Amino acid sequence: MTGTRTRRAAPPPGDAPHGPRPRREEPTHLVVGRVLAPWGVRGEFRAEILTQFPERFGLLREITVGEEHRVYRLQSARLHRGNVILKLEGIDTPEQAGALRGELLYVPTSEAMPLEEHEYYHHQILGLDVFTVDGEYLGTVSEILETGSNDVYVVAQYGREILIPALADVVQEVDLERQRLIVALPPGLMDEEEA
């Protein structure tokens, strides 16, 4: 997720050089954690929290485990030293919990926590076409780097990459309907990238 604040810019520029693209498919599930290790003797396990909403674990009734998206009823969840301790129905021994080690934990996208205005989940930003406020096509968002202070959008085109900070004075508009991002590049950014 990125907390970039945006503001309206001039009318959106024309289409990207390759023309309008079909709508991107939204992911069916979002990652919220990763199983680390068994915890105790009752089948509980410790999981790394991979969501900016750790309180969401206390609100869940079910959780999805692994790439096969196996759904388990969540019997208990409690935060512990930066991780979460979970107990799933049907996982009753340390051995069963250990078999889940490394598995990702998901929730359906439909259950994503609501965001503030001008905040977006990473999956909403990835793949967007990027234009300057002057209408120059820069490429598409191929990756998002989390730096701690702000996200950085990696914009790729024709084998080159541009790193664009996700800051309010840089990101002018996020148009999910038209699948585009409008940016005001900081002075010298393109010169640095091409050096």
For residue 141, give the nearest of 132, 152, 3 by alpha carbon.
Answer: 152
Kindly report the CATH number that applies to the domain delimited by 29-110: 2.40.30.60
Q: Say whether 122-194 and 29-110 share the same fold.
A: no
Helix and strand numbers, DSSP H then E, in the chain: 3, 12
Structure tokens, 111: 């259950």
- To the question of pTM greater than 0.85 for the whole model, the response is no
For the chain, give every domain's residue range.
29-110, 122-194
Structure tokens, 124: 């909403």
Kindly report the CATH number that applies to the domain delimited by 122-194: 2.30.30.240
Q: Distance between CA 35 and CA 91 in Å, rounded? A: 13
Q: For each of the chain's 195 residues, which pLDDT tens digit applies?
A: 444 433 223 333 444 555 555 556 778 888 999 999 999 999 999 999 998 889 989 999 999 999 999 999 999 999 999 999 999 999 999 999 999 999 999 999 888 887 777 778 888 888 899 999 999 999 999 998 888 778 899 998 888 889 999 988 999 999 888 889 999 988 776 655 554
Q: Distance between CA 121 and CA 17 in Å, rounded? A: 26
